[in-house]
């Protein structure tokens, strides 16, 4: 097993583009940048909790594909637990994200957990193109200051700059949100030098129960040419998940 590999989630898992939002008919015309970003956060975290399984396709620059499956639990906007289900050499690798940048990885080969320091949040894990920072449970409004750049092709275009004190590998984000409901459909990530580093896009946005969900996301790493595709094949909402489902003990099961 490549022991440096660590598990992924989402969008969810980041970008949170895998996260749901309750349907709303409220107008989104003429909103300010902070109001738009608040609506984005509401989309990503409106369910009390969620449980999903995802098929992950890892696509290298030559087009070779490897498949993995994973499960994810999330409660509110700040608790997330992810585990690989397959293949056998990745099964059980887990990732736990808790409030205040508290992130933990579990590697079955070593039989113990390891805390992730803020200084290495930019590390890719589990052979995917997602970093710890991409996949942590979060609200964008807590960490980024938005500016509305323009409206084009039915989308608000926001520039997000890191708030003071935020440890991040990105100099800025450019987020595209649907004018109709502020659902985020694309996020571009720029490195410290101001060059485009990653792009995450959301597709197959569908209503599942009371919530809208992007059933498919694609992350493209513009530096390596690799891509990570996630396809949700099962999701459950509002099951009353308790806090003891988001512990290191649960991570190691």
Structural domain contains residue 51: yes
Looking at the structure of the chain, the number of domains it has is 1
Structural domain contains residue 234: yes
* Nearest partner of 211 among 186, 232, 230, 187, judged by Cα: 232
Return left, alpha or beta for 10; rule: phi > 0 is left, psi -120 to 50 is alpha, else beta: left
Structural domain contains residue 145: yes
Q: Is the pLDDT of residue 237 over 70?
A: yes
Structural domain contains residue 186: yes
Q: Is the pLDDT of residue 66 over 90?
A: yes
151-207 pLDDT tens trace: 999 999 999 999 998 989 999 999 999 999 999 999 999 999 999 999 999 998 888
**Containing structural domain, residue 31:** 10-251
Contact, 202 vs 216, CB < 8 A?
yes
- The predicted model scores a pTM of 0.87
* Nearest partner of 58 among 164, 130, 1, 114, judged by Cα: 130
Structural domain contains residue 179: yes
Q: How far apart are CA 94 and CA 56, in angstroms?
A: 15
Task: Taking residues 210-230, report their average pLDDT.
Answer: 94
Q: How far apart are CA 194 and CA 226, in angstroms?
A: 20
The domain spanning residue 19 has which CATH number? 2.50.20.10
Structural domain contains residue 4: no
91-143 pLDDT tens trace: 999 999 999 889 999 989 899 999 998 888 888 877 889 998 998 888 999 99
> Which 8-state DSSP code applies to residue 119?
G
Structural domain contains residue 3: no
3-47 pLDDT tens trace: 443 333 334 444 444 555 544 434 555 799 999 999 999 888 889
* Nearest partner of 81 among 57, 59, 113, judged by Cα: 113
> Which pLDDT band, with edges at 50, 70 and 90, does 2 fall under?
very low
Contact, 54 vs 69, CB < 8 A?
yes
* Nearest partner of 146 among 156, 136, 137, judged by Cα: 156
Q: Is the pLDDT of residue 67 over 50?
A: yes
Structural domain contains residue 5: no
Q: How far apart are CA 249 and CA 96, in angstroms?
A: 11
């Amino acid at each position: 097993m490549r022991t440096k590999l660590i598990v992924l989630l989402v969008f969810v898992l980041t970008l949170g583009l895998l996260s749901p939002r309750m349907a709303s008919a409220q107008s989104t015309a003429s909103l300010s940048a902070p109001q738009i970003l608040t609506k984005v956060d509401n989309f990503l975290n409106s369910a009390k909790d969620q449980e999903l399984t995802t098929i992950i396709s890892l696509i290298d620059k030559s087009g070779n594909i490897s498949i993995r499956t994973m499960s994810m639990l999330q409660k509110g906007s700040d608790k997330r637990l992810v585990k690989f289900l397959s293949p056998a050499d990745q099964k059980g690798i887990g990732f736990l994200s808790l409030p205040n940048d508290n992130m933990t990885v579990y590697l079955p080969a070593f039989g113990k957990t390891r805390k992730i320091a803020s200084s290495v949040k930019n590390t890719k894990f589990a052979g995917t193109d997602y970093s710890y920072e991409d996949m942590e449970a979060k609200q964008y409004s807590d960490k980024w200051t938005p500016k509305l750049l323009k409206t084009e092709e039915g989308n608000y275009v926001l520039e997000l700059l890191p708030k003071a004190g935020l440890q991040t590998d990105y100099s800025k984000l450019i987020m595209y949100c649907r004018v109709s409901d502020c659902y985020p459909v694309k996020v571009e990530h720029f490195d410290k030098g101001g060059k485009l580093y990653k792009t995450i896009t959301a597709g197959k946005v569908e209503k599942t129960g009371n919530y809208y969900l992007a059933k498919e996301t694609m992350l493209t790493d513009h530096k390596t040419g690799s891509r990570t595709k996630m396809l949700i094949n099962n999701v459950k909402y509002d099951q009353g998940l308790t806090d003891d489902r988001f512990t290191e003990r649960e991570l190691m099961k």
